[in-house]
Amino acid sequence: MGYARVSTTGQDLTAQRDALTKLGVAPDLIYVDHGLTGRNRDRPGLAQALAAVRNGDTLVITKLDRLARSLPDARNIADELTAKGVALDLGGSVYDPADPVGRLLFNVLGMVAEFEADLIRARTREGMQIAKAAGKLRGRQPTLSKTKRRHLITLAAAGQHTQAELAELFDVSRTTIYRELRREQPPPTPCSPLTTRECPLAGRVKSWMPPRPATSSPRRPSPPSPWASGSSTDGTDAGPASHPARIRTLAPRDTSRP
């Protein structure tokens, strides 16, 4: 089994494929990861290679830094290969992780790979600081050129491709496609105020204010009428017939009066 990796999408895997083929690896048994760093353990190609090897196999790589860029990751991979009984071939030199000497050399090479990665990052940061001090570093360059951006806008306007298909076509992320398309959209037109013909109350509508709560004290209930309960003023029960209106109604009519 063979494994190859490049860190950026602009790099080519042809040299590593040719080197693995010269080391005796069949082209259909070479697993690759394109555009993934060595510090990222979540690599589909590496996972497939580790799942495919069996007891007695040899995993072939051109350099140890293609397999891992940190010593802990290199040790974890070595432990997994040891548990499966798989040897490791580094550019033609076979190292058995189960052998003490082979494990020592493997750890030394892992430390060297990690040191090289740290050195590259330090040099990159130093170069960026020097370029920034000299005024040559102007921030991140646009992902798409002007020609590609115009082509993207034309294809998007045709409406025959989704954003995912455009991202795959231009080899960028969907976020980049969304940002470029949003940048080309015209700003929204502000709405004109309503006229009196469109709305008779335009310009005359006042803001609504909640009603003020009542400040006066609640009305006291009036005392009950003695006639309502059928009681007289002296405390005796007058009954419904004692009401003055009832008395006038029941009194006999005087027919002698003209």
226 in helix, strand or coil? coil
Name the CA dihedral angle for 131, 136, 137, 143, rounded to a multiple of 10 degrees: -130
Out of 7, 173, 216, 217, the active site residue is 7
Helix, strand, coil shares of the chain, percent, nearest 5, are: 45, 10, 45
- The question of whether 7 is a catalytic residue gets the answer yes
Contacts of 102 (CB under 8 A, 6+ apart): 95, 96
How far apart (Å, rounded) are the C-alpha atoms in residues 46 and 40? 11
DSSP string, 163-225: HHHHHHHHTS-HHHHHHHHHHHSPPPPPPPPPPTTT-TTTTTPPPP-PPPPP-SPPPPPPPPP
How far apart (Å, rounded) are the C-alpha atoms in residues 207 and 104? 82
DSSP string, 39-73: T----HHHHHHHHH--TT-EEEES-HHHH-SSHHH
Give the CA distances from residue 177 to residues 15, 72, 144, 162, in Å, rounded to whole numbers and listed in that order: 32, 37, 10, 10
Which residues are the active-site residues?
Answer: 7
